[in-house]
Chain A
Amino acid sequence: MIPKPHVDWFALAPVDSLLVAAGVALLCAVLVPRSWRKGVAAGVCGLGYAAAFGFGVALYVKSADGHGVVADAFNRDRLTALATMIVAGTGLLVTGVAYRERAREDHAAEYYALLAASGAGMAFFVGANNLMTLFLALEWFSISLYILCAIDRDRLGGLEAALKYLVIGGFGSAVLLFGSALVYGATGKLDFPGIAAAGAQDNALLVFGLAMLIAGLAFKASAAPFHMWTPDVYEGAPTPVTAFMAAATKTAALVVTLRVLVTAFPANAHLWTVAIAVIAVCSLVVGNLAALVQRGVKRMLAYSSISQAGFMLIGVSANSPLGGRALLYYLIPYTAMSVGAFAVVAARERELGVPVTFENMAGFGWERPLLGISMWAFLLGFAGFPLTGGFVGKFYVFAAAYEHGWTWLVIVGVLATLVSLYYYLGLVRAMFMRRTEDLQLAPIGGSPPRETLLQTAVVTCLVVTVGSFFAVQPLIDLCKHAVNSLPWGV
């Protein structure tokens, strides 16, 4: 008789609820009549995310002392719970944004099934406690996303984006895998605490493995110089999927980066802090400079997401509880702003039927005040203006860098913010300060499709973006407890 490990179902409840949702949504494809299919599948997916969010909250409350579950393969702690909440919240919003997507209907059920499945993968990914579950969860959500990019097989752009994503994503995960193998060889362990306990210091094998691990995760977080897939894929993917990738994938990848580095490699902190700082600076430089010259809004947002990853990585590079708090706090408004911004882009796209550029956003702010003002708030938030959580996030990140003794990183961040103003405010300018009638580009008038779900999602994002500016204390407490579940070797 084989002794089975104890399975803590509660710890896996968010993942399982999403998996169940994915399964049920998949069944909808065959069991539910065509006219109902989309609504039922979307409802199931939304329910799954809502349940995952609820379980995340419950787990947060009941996991004050973090520990591994199911033979130590998965972490039940507050960091997992908080990251799950962010991912699940994102998923819920994206479900709302996706609902009226003008796409073919014959894969509607599969679309939501995959959306739930990728969310499940991310919820698992953020709790992975060894290199094997890390790699497998990464592939789990990545493969779901590859398919989601290509779900509308009539769009060549989507297919090309998916293939590009698959190839470069596959390359990234192969790098991560080889890095894992080297770390395994150097320490003899696959689980993070074990790797740390093996205490191998600057052993060449370990350092090389660590470098490849960081590179592999940076591919997923789309941090420069591992970002080259990002603009094309973000542009080619269906906009709701892009929103999900920009918000949830990045959240998952950054949280896992923090967890892996802090838990498994405390002895090599002097190396990886510098490496992460370099990646952060590269992302800031590349993301901001490339965003300056974009005309397509999705591409601009893609590059902006690269630069945002740079800001958040500054928090990781500080290797301190303050840095961790900075990262987690930053993620909350960041996910809201990304989902919201892409949702607005999706709304405009559906209205016009062509890809959204700076030119055809002209006058949007006055035509659709709700979406326009929300977009304005999201862009200001990205740029780190007060009255949005983006400001406090940037402040925390800079504080973490300074506390680590890296004033130069603060200066780099400040300069990057300054550059970013040009394109963020450029879009604001396009939306509000051009006279639509002068340009004659966008079809004006006529009532836009009433998209209650999308608008609700945008308003929720707006509330989170602005609310996180005022409710810093509760959010920081939330992040503090989450970060404290990591073994900070102070």
Chain B
Amino acid sequence: MTTLLICLPLAAALIVWVLPLNPVSAGALALLAALAEVGIWIQLLVRYDFAQGGLQFSDQHTWFSDLNVSYHVGVYGFSVWLIGLTVVVMAATITYGFWAGRERIRAYMGLMLFLMGAIVGVFAAQDLLLFYAFFEAMLIPLYVLVGVWGGPGRMGATLKFVLYTMAGSLLMLASIVVYGLSEHTFDLVQIGQSSSQWIFLGFVAAFAIKAPLFPLHGWLPDAYRESSPEVAAVLSGVVSKAAAYGFLRIAVTKFPGPAHDFRAPILALAAIGLIYGSLLAFRAPDLRGVIAYSSLAQMGLIIMGVFAVNDLSLDGSVLQMVNHGLVSATLFLLAGMVERRALTGELGRLGGMARGRPALATMLLTTGVIALAVPLSSAFAGEFLILAGVFQRGWGWAVAGAVAIVLAAMYVLRVVSAVLHREVGSAVSDSALDLRPAELGVTVPMIACLLALSIWPAAITQHSFRGDHGAADVAGQFK
């Protein structure tokens, strides 16, 4: 079933590329595949035995035996949620791309489907080399998606993005070689824990760049601004979670010693990123900039949660990964819809869009309210759990987190008011329509997911690690 989940989008990508379909049927086929993927995921969710936990639906075939590398995939409780995030966000973005009528749609849809398969693969891989392969494979479609369908500054943005992420990834490759050969296996389930700080830092480099962790976020603003809104949604919503997943699945789990030694510096960087990102988000002149920097801040928070390594913080991190994934993807898509109408994302030239556009206003407002973590929202649950967990590692970290949450409230309110309220901006014409049904079709399900999580956050927090106390078991490697 896991294999099906990985291969379905890849196969669909091949079909879309190879068959000479017309644009509409190519898009429809891609959409169908994405929806089928969501269906399979729901099957997976229903059939996953949360009471038992551990690795399920695993599938293992030898890839090459002399170095003990195998195709080994499977899902843990928290992977189920992350895969769910992936399929939902990807389905929404594919729909949006189809509706927005991207040119060269066959290539575009193929790449999106390919990306979907690769991301699901990252969350399901239980072999280091396979994990690396999927982790890199994500980059191939992203490179083209940003570089071909991006804005005017796309060339520089892609170059920066690729060089940054590959620098980290290749260090990780070196680490994987050393780690796997010294342990005589690359299987993530079997491989023993290591106390080597160098290997640990190699992995951290890759994940810290991809997440990104302050100060390695140099690629982020350009990539998020220059790519098309749905690609930015995938980047910030899903791809960054692959890095957080890597921290959780490999860095913390397999390297308890070094993770302990480096806890303070990594928590400090994450906290700096959190506050710095929030400040930048507050000052950013455009819609996408705000979301991009808030994404940096939120990733800081999630990494804090992962590295605090205790029950509360880990549960909170997984919840927050899903939350933030949905929130930032929705926001980027909404930003795209706003830009489509106003032809700009500059906050100074927007304003007053709420008048006569109730759907847009409702969507943006709901997402914004969840993003600023008002009590009872799912983001509130996630952030609260993380902060509570981090508090156990030192009250200073929690204070930093709390400050950032206050900042978050400020920048979210600023965006909402700048777009929806105040007087009508220079770029907003009266003829700009409200959200079309297709746009609603994209955003409503995502917001519905967020609301569902707000009502029942325990769906994730109680079902990520085994039973109720799996988080402390991280050292026990999810078994």
Contact = CB atoms under 8 A, between A and B. Distances in A.
Nearest to A479: B66
B262 interface: no
Interface size class of B (residues with CB under 8 A): 35 or more
A366 B104 contact: yes
B170 interface: yes
Contacts of B65: 473
B170 A414 contact: yes
B154 interface: yes
A258 interface: no
A432 B111 CA distance: 14
B140 A387 contact: yes
Contacts, number: 85
B173 A433 contact: no
Contacts of B148: 432-433
Contacts of A422: 159, 163
A398 interface: yes
Nearest to B130: A386
Q: Taking chain A's interface residues, is the majority helix, strand, or loop, or is none over half, making it mixed? A: helix
B36 interface: no
B140 A433 contact: no
Interface string B168-194: 001101100110010000000000000
B134 A386 contact: yes
Nearest to A417: B170
A386 B148 CA distance: 21
Contacts of B181: 399, 402-403
A387 B133 contact: yes
Contacts of B69: 472
Given A325-B66, A387-B133, A395 B178 contact: no
A422 to B, nearest CB: 7
Nearest to A322: B66
A410 B175 CA distance: 10
Contacts of A250: none
B15 interface: no
B173 A395 contact: yes
Interface string A60-86: 000000000000000000000000000
A70 B166 CA distance: 52
B144 interface: yes
Contacts of B166: 417-418, 421
Contacts of B178: 402, 407, 410
A402 B177 contact: yes
A386 B177 contact: no
Interface string A382-398: 00011100011011101
A395 B104 contact: no
B68 to A, nearest CB: 11
B62 A473 contact: yes
Q: Taking chain B's interface residues, is the majority helix, strand, or loop, or is none over half, making it mixed? A: helix
B143 A398 contact: no
B143 A425 contact: yes
Interface in A346-399: 366, 373, 380, 385-387, 391-392, 394-396, 398-399
Interface string B122-155: 0000000100111011011001100110000011
Given A385-B136, A429-B147, A473-B65, A414 B174 contact: yes
A403 B170 CA distance: 18
Interface in B220-257: none
B63 A398 contact: no
A425 B162 contact: yes
B158 A429 contact: yes
B64 A429 contact: no
A370 B4 CA distance: 28
A476 interface: yes
Given A395-B173, A429-B158, A386 B163 contact: no
A429 B181 CA distance: 36
Contacts of B140: 380, 385, 387
Nearest to A476: B64
A386 B66 contact: no
A32 interface: no
Contact of B177 (A325, A398, A417, A429): A398
B67 interface: yes
A391 B170 contact: no
A417 B62 CA distance: 27
- Which of A373, A380, A414, A428 is most buried by chain B, counting CB atoms within 10 A of its CB? A414
A158 B449 CA distance: 66
Contact of B66 (A373, A425, A480): A480
B64 A399 contact: no
A473 B70 CA distance: 10
Nearest to A383: B166
A385 B169 CA distance: 11
B167 interface: yes
Nearest to A426: B159
Contacts of B147: 429, 432-433
Given A402-B178, A410-B174, A414-B170, A386 B132 contact: yes
Interface of A: 322, 325, 366, 373, 380, 385-387, 391-392, 394-396, 398-399, 402-403, 407, 410-411, 414-415, 417-418, 421-422, 425, 428-429, 432-433, 472-473, 476, 480
Given A395-B129, A414-B170, A432-B147, 15 more contacts: A385-B137, A386-B132, A391-B133, A391-B136, A395-B177, A399-B177, A399-B181, A403-B181, A407-B178, A414-B173, A418-B163, A421-B162, A433-B154, A473-B62, A473-B63
Interface of B: 17, 62-67, 69, 104, 129, 132-134, 136-137, 139-140, 143-144, 147-148, 154-155, 158-159, 162-163, 166-167, 170-171, 173-174, 177-178, 181
22 contacts: A325-B66, A373-B17, A386-B136, A387-B133, A387-B137, A391-B133, A391-B136, A392-B64, A395-B173, A399-B177, A399-B181, A402-B177, A403-B181, A407-B178, A414-B171, A417-B170, A422-B163, A429-B147, A429-B155, A473-B62, A473-B64, A473-B65
